[in-house]
Structure 1
Amino acid sequence: MTEVKAAPITKEILDKAYTYDQYRQMIDNLMKENKTTGENNSEAMLHYTKMNTFRMKRLDKTTELLPELEERLKQLERPMIWLVLTEAWCGDAAQIIPVLQKMADQTENIDLKLILRDQNLDIMDEFLTHGRSRSIPKLIVLDANSHDVLGDWGPRPFEAQEMYDNWRLNDGEDYREISETLHKWYADDKTESTQKELLPLIDRWENG
C-alpha cells in the first residue's frame, strides 16, 4: 500500500469508466473480433483473455463473502468510488475484480469503476508497485464527493505478491511458470486472502 497522494483522476475519466457489466461486455465484444484490450492481439494474449472470461464467470457464481466482511460493508457510511486499473488479458485482474464487485453489491456506498491501464498510464504511474512496476489490477479508493484519494490496494494479495516477487528475484523468465503457480494459489485460496486484506482497510478508508 502506498501513501495517500494526489492523482490525475478527473471527473471525465470517472464518467467514462466501465461498470463491471460494461467491462465484461466490452471484453466479449473484442473476443468476437479476435481482439483483446491494448495493442497486443497475439495468440497468447487472446488465450489469456479467453481464460479470464471463464475465470470471471466462475467467480461470479462461486464467490461467497466472509460474514464479517459482508456485515462491515453493510455498515459502510462513507460514499466511495473504487476505481480499478485493469486489462482484459490480466489473470490477476480476473481473479480479483469479481470479488470487488461482490463487495460493491453489498452497499450503495461503493461505486466500482474500471479503466484500462494502457489508456491511463499517467494514473498508473502514480500507483506503481515497489515504485517501478505497472502491475495490475490496482484498486484506487476515492471519496465519492471530493474525489480525494483515500488509499489503494493491489495488484494481488500479499502471499501471491510474495510468490511473484520471489520468482522475479530468481531471474524468472517463463511467465507461464509463475502464471500457473499463481492461478493454482487463487483456486486453493477461494478469494479469502483478498477479502481478509481488504476488510481492515475499509475502516481506514472510511475514517481517512
Structure 2
Amino acid sequence: MGRSLAVSMAVAASVLAAGCATPARVDQMISEPGIAKRIAAPAVLKENVALRDVTGGRETNPMWVSSVGSSEFEGALAGSLRAAGMYSENRQAGRYFLTVHLEKLDQPLVGFNLTVTATVNYTLTERASGKDVFARTIATPYTAKAGDAFLAVERLKLANEGAIRTNIARLIDELMALRIDGVALR
C-alpha cells in the first residue's frame, strides 16, 4: 500500500510540475508592422477594414493543451490591423469587412522544438457591392525551441502565438499588395 501511494504521489507531483495549459495571449499574437509599412498601407484600406466574423478558434482546456480561442484571435487581428492603419473601429462603417476562419492549428504531441502551423481562411468583402476582393487560405508555421521555455506546455503556447502572429503578418503583407480588377489599391 505504501508503494502505490508513493507512486501515485510521484505521478501527481509530475503532473503539477508540468503545469497547466493556458490560452494564447492576445498581445503576443499581434503583428506590428514597422512605420514604413504603416505609411505604405493602401489609402482605400486606411481605417476601412472591419472584422465581421472570426470563427474556428478553440478554447484552451487547462488539463490538455494550449489553444487559440476565437475571441483571442479576433483581438490579435484587430490589434494588428490597427497597427497597420487599416482597422475600422466601427464594424458598420468600414468600406470592407474581413471574415476569418481558423481552419486548423496543427500542433505536435511531443518534442523539444515544437512547430505549430496555423491555417486560416480570410475573405475581404466590399461592403457596398458584396463582392469578395480578396480570398486566401494562409498557412504559416512557427517553431518554439527548447530554450524558449522550460515547460513543454509553455513552448506550445509560444508556438501557437507565433504561428498566429506570422499568419496575421502574412495577411497584412498580402493586403498591402492587393490589387482589385488589375488596379493596385494605393
Same fold (TM over 0.5): no
TM-score, L = length of structure 2: 0.42
Task: Give the number of the structure whose residues are more often helix, by fraction.
Answer: 1
